[in-house]
Amino acid sequence: MKALMFGWEFPPHILGGLGTASYGLTKGMSKQEDMELTFVIPKPHGDEDQRFLKIIGACNVPVVWKENTWEHVNRRIGGIMHPDEYFWLRNGIKYDFRRIYTNDLGCIDFSGRYPDNLLEEISNYEAVASVLAHQLDFDIIHSHDWLTYKAGVFAKYISGKPLVVHVHATDFDRSRGNVNPTVYEIEKRGMDEANHIITVSNLTRKIVIEKYHQHPDKVTTVHNAVEPLPDVESYTKTPRKDKVVTFLGRITMQKGPEYFVEAAHRVLEKTKDVRFVMAGSGDMMNSMIDLAAKREIADRFHFTGFLKGRQVYEMLAESDIYIMPSVSEPFGISPLEAMQVGTPTIISKQSGCAEILTHAIKTDYWDIDAMADAIYSIVKNPAMYKSLREFGIEEVNNIRWEDAGLKVRDIYNRVIH
């Protein structure tokens, strides 16, 4: 079984949960003996782990024919793509894309991020998909999130192969209901054209059925999982008097950071032996700094900025509690990562991971009192802390990407046959 996947990010260069999920799922699926995965991203850096899949950078796929020598191509992109592959892909150019600005190789310079001209990059990704669809050999197309739906649909029309779209989030999650009509249209068309839709939670499945008008039989939930930490024992907690409660993620409307600050204020009215950390960056960061000052708790509040790689696990391991007060969270992998390093977790009931986690405390995102009570109980009750820690580790170690991969494979088999 050969799958052509379109993604937007891939570790170690990630900007959010999409890259983490893409890595975990593909690695889990690669355990299936006959599974061959080709994963396309806009701009690889060359240090991605390609032991279990092949990565193609959209920025290295020619979409406009330009005459070049082998030596020049090798000099330009040889470190990431073999020149022979470049010339072979060039034979897949069947359409006139000269309206798109291309470099000396006839390739599009993708940013590899989420730039101001994101919609233009999404549209340009279609051109790359057309070349790959003409040249590559595959059985199924798998598009990860709305950014790649256009590419997936075009590849489906060219190749005649079935398309699966993977909904990691919808604009209803990102915008608290204030949906961007252009984004909605891209999402809706991707779902309409798909042979099957995978959602990361039943919460997201419900949105896809009700808001995007998809038939329930066409939508299957495959919950995310978490990649095992090989060096989990190396993450330890520094002994100290004060307890640490951490929010880690994008500081945006979707993640409910203001509820975290307000809950912190309630806790600090009862005890001063707690410090609160907001790790991450986002458009609400300054307003959260202002809110902490307004509530007169700034001396107990720390803003770390964006953390990545090992820093994330070090911060989670140093914490006594991890809290995710998301307003609408399609899944949310970070609570699982926190539980891996033995950190008790409080999550909002409005998150997909709440559907599969038993040993995490669940509150409504807006219920600041319940959140504050849960924090206070854990920091003041060593037996409760110990129970959540031990059962949490045991539970999360049984949530495996390999199992998620088998469910995806079952969907592939259904749409192909």
User: pLDDT at position 395, please?
Assistant: 97
Q: Do domains 2-225+402-416 and 232-396 have the same CATH topology?
A: yes
Which CATH number is associated with domain 232-396?
3.40.50.2000
User: pLDDT at position 175, please?
Assistant: 80
The torsion angles phi and psi of 47, rounded to 5 degrees, stand at -105, 15
The answer, as to whether pTM is greater than 0.85, is yes
Q: Please check whether residue 163 is in contact with residue 155, taking contact to mean a CB–CB distance below 8 angstroms.
A: yes
Alpha carbon distance 169, 161 (integer Å) = 24
Q: Please check whether residue 357 is in contact with residue 347, taking contact to mean a CB–CB distance below 8 angstroms.
A: yes
Alpha carbon distance 221, 202 (integer Å) = 6
- 313: tokens are 């696990």
The conformation of residue 31, written as its DSSP 8-state character, comes to T
Positions of the chain with pLDDT lower than 70, given as ranges? none
Q: Where are the beta strands (DSSP E) in 2-68?
A: 2-6, 36-41, 54-57
Architecture (CATH level 2) of domain 2-225+402-416: 3-Layer(aba) Sandwich (3.40)
DSSP per residue, 315-381: HHHH-SEEEE--SSBS--SHHHHHHHTT--EEEETTBGGGGT-SSSEEE-TT-HHHHHHHHHHHHH-
Domain boundary assignment for the chain: 2-225+402-416, 232-396
